[in-house]
Amino acid sequence: MSRTGLKGRRSAAGRTRRRSIGVAVLLAISVATAVTPPPASAVPPPPPNPSDADIAGAQARVGDGISRVSDLIDRVAAANQQLAALDAAVAVKREDVNKALVDLQNARSAADAAAAAVTLAQRALQDAGQIISDAQRKFDSAAVTDYIRGTGSAGASSLLDADGPQDVLDRAQLLRLLSAKQNAVLDGLQRARTEQANRDSAARASKVEADRASAAADAKKAEAEQAIAAAVAAQQDQSARKAAVEANRDAAAAELESARAGAAGLESQRDAYTRWDAQRQAEEAAAAEAARQAEQAAAAAAARVAADQAAADRAATAAAAAPDHTDLVGATRPGTGTSSGSGAGASSGAGTSGSGTSSGAGTSSGTGTSGTGTGTTTPSKPSVGKPAVTGSAAIELVIDRGMSVLGTPYSWGGGNENGPTKGIRDGGVADSYGDYNKVGFDCSGLMMYAFGGLGISLPHYTGYQYTAGKQVPSSQMKRGDMLFWGPGASQHVALYLGDGTMLEAPQSGDVVKVSPVRWSGMTPYAVRMVE
């Protein structure tokens, strides 16, 4: 190697080491003075806090409402009693009407029966009279015939026709018998006529009595109907007054309930505000304590990171070996070779572009395409190098480096193994927050810095970081593992700290902070870089 090349390499290595030391010092100062602890759980907006006068006024309205409603309840009770009395009176009147109607119907039935009996008696009387008249005519005719012929009497004709004295006696006896029989029939018919006449008189008397009973029943019906009408009118009037009283009572009851609800609501609001204030004070105290602890942890981590020159050198070497993530034209790329290394001797790739080879601080070297200055094809599983430190010490070193930059602004596209960098433009949200002009980290840049102290150079893309180490089920995550979100780990990455917490650079406008682990949308695997 020429003296000029060696001198250039040593000069570049010295600049890299001085830059890494300066970045570590600046990070320690920023953590000690501007660390932002992870926010506590969000306290809801304060509920209304009514004054004592508001609560007293509401309670007074409740008392007034109780008095008014009590008075109205008494009035409704009195109205109910009056209605009950009216209902009883109307019930009596209604039953009186029922009795009168029953009596009326009975009287009408009796009158109808008497009228029917009169009709039958008159018809029977007429029939009897006709029979008596027919019998009388026959009797008279027979008597005249007998008298003329002498067959019906002891006249000369009977005697002349007689065969002898005995025959005359027999004929005379027969005439007497016939005469007696006719007289008996005539008497019976006469008695029947008299009996039928008596029946006709009784039937007429019964009809007169039935008509009188019917008239009395009609009068009672009219009186009962008048009583019903009066009672119904009184009941309707009382019902209207009762409805008005009940409406007033219901309105007063609603006012009372509203007043009670208002008073209870104000008291509940006061209680809710008291609970909220206690919660706020407790959470503010917890947040202050968390901030104090986070500041102490960040300061201690920053001090350890600043004191760990080996880790700083490894990170600086890894950063120098990688192309500038924000360089879109390739003008600032340190070299074109593909390098790999182990321990502190990871290749820096800091040679001059187009030189064909570049040597780093260690033993490995990279071979590139001469004079082209073009990049290499990204492998399906990126090569990140073997960590210089392993075990729990490596895990704590990774976490120290991550915790040392708590409070550093989020910057989309920012951050590398050596520390925070300016972000890039996205033409949208990141630009609106000025990420392109902020020195900070995005989520994958933060992981690059955290693992850079081990000499591990991670790709600046979550999807590639997802395949950079050993994948383990997310349910088996351990302290120091990387957690991912989105299809193919394309959305976000964070560093698991244990106890359900993680370190992350969330989004534009935010800062590097500790957050609870979010299980929703997490990939099925976490990535373990060191055991």
Asked if 393 contacts 374 with a C-beta cutoff of 8 angstroms, the reply is no
88 and 226 within one domain? yes
DSSP state of 324: P
Which residues is 473 bridged to in the sheet? 525
Name 493's Cβ contacts closer than 8 Å, sequence gap at least 6: 443, 444, 447, 462, 465, 466, 482, 483, 484, 485, 504
**pLDDT at position 294, please?**
80
Rounded (5°) CA angle 453-454-457 = 85
Per-residue b or e along 395-413, where b marks 16 or more CB atoms closer than 10 Å to that residue's CB: bbbbbbbbbbbbbbbbbbb
355 and 241 within one domain? no
* Phi and psi angles of residue 190, each rounded to the nearest 5 degrees, phi first: -70, -40
**pLDDT at position 296, please?**
87
207 and 65 within one domain? yes
Evaluate whether residue 289 is within a structural domain: no
Evaluate whether residue 442 is within a structural domain: yes
Structural domains of the chain, count? 2
115: containing domain: 52-278
257 and 210 within one domain? yes
316 and 265 within one domain? no
Which residues is 472 bridged to in the sheet? 526
24 and 157 within one domain? no
343 and 401 within one domain? yes
Domain finish residue from 278, 293, 327: 278
Asked if 220 contacts 101 with a C-beta cutoff of 8 angstroms, the reply is no
357 and 248 within one domain? no
SS3 at position 357: strand
Which tokens hold the place of 84? 């009950």
Evaluate whether residue 303 is within a structural domain: no
Please provide the DSSP assignment of 277-292 as one string.
Answer: HHHHHHHHHHHHHHHH
Active site residues: 443, 492, 504
Evaluate whether residue 44 is within a structural domain: no
Domain finish residue from 263, 278, 293: 278
Evaluate whether residue 294 is within a structural domain: no
Which tokens hold the place of 393? 């010490």
**pLDDT at position 390, please?**
87
- The per-residue pLDDT string of the chain (531 residues; one tens digit each, 9 = 90 and over) reads 444 444 444 444 444 454 444 444 444 444 443 344 444 455 678 888 888 888 888 888 888 878 777 887 888 788 788 878 777 777 777 677 777 777 778 877 877 887 787 788 778 777 777 777 777 777 677 667 666 755 544 455 555 666 777 776 776 676 677 677 767 777 777 787 787 778 778 778 878 887 887 888 788 788 778 878 887 787 788 778 778 878 888 888 888 888 888 888 888 888 888 888 899 899 889 888 887 888 888 889 989 998 889 889 998 988 888 787 777 766 554 433 333 333 333 333 333 333 333 333 333 333 333 333 333 444 445 566 778 788 999 999 999 999 999 999 999 999 999 999 999 998 898 899 999 999 999 999 999 999 999 999 999 999 999 999 999 999 999 999 999 999 999 999 999 999 999 999 999 999 999 999 999 999 999 999 998
Evaluate whether residue 293 is within a structural domain: no
Rounded (5°) CA angle 189-195-200 = 125
Evaluate whether residue 290 is within a structural domain: no
SS3 at position 514: strand
Strand blocks (E) in 70-121: none
Alpha-carbon distance 305 to 387, whole Å? 17
Number of continuous H segments (helices) and E segments (strands) in the chain: 9, 10
pTM comes to 0.47
Nearest by Cα to 210 from 109, 118, 122: 109
Give the up-direction half-sphere exposure of residue 384: CA atoms within 13 A in the CB hemisphere.
28
Alpha-carbon distance 115 to 137, whole Å? 33
13 and 155 within one domain? no
Asked if 479 contacts 492 with a C-beta cutoff of 8 angstroms, the reply is no
365 and 459 within one domain? yes
Evaluate whether residue 251 is within a structural domain: yes
Q: Give the containing element (helix H, strand E) for 61.
A: helix 52-149
Give the up-direction half-sphere exposure of residue 328: CA atoms within 13 A in the CB hemisphere.
5
338 and 273 within one domain? no
Asked if 422 contacts 433 with a C-beta cutoff of 8 angstroms, the reply is no
Which residue type is seen at 445? G
Domain finish residue from 232, 259, 278: 278
493 and 403 within one domain? yes
Q: Looking at residue 488, which CATH number applies to its domain?
A: 3.90.1720.10
* Phi and psi angles of residue 422, each rounded to the nearest 5 degrees, phi first: -70, 150
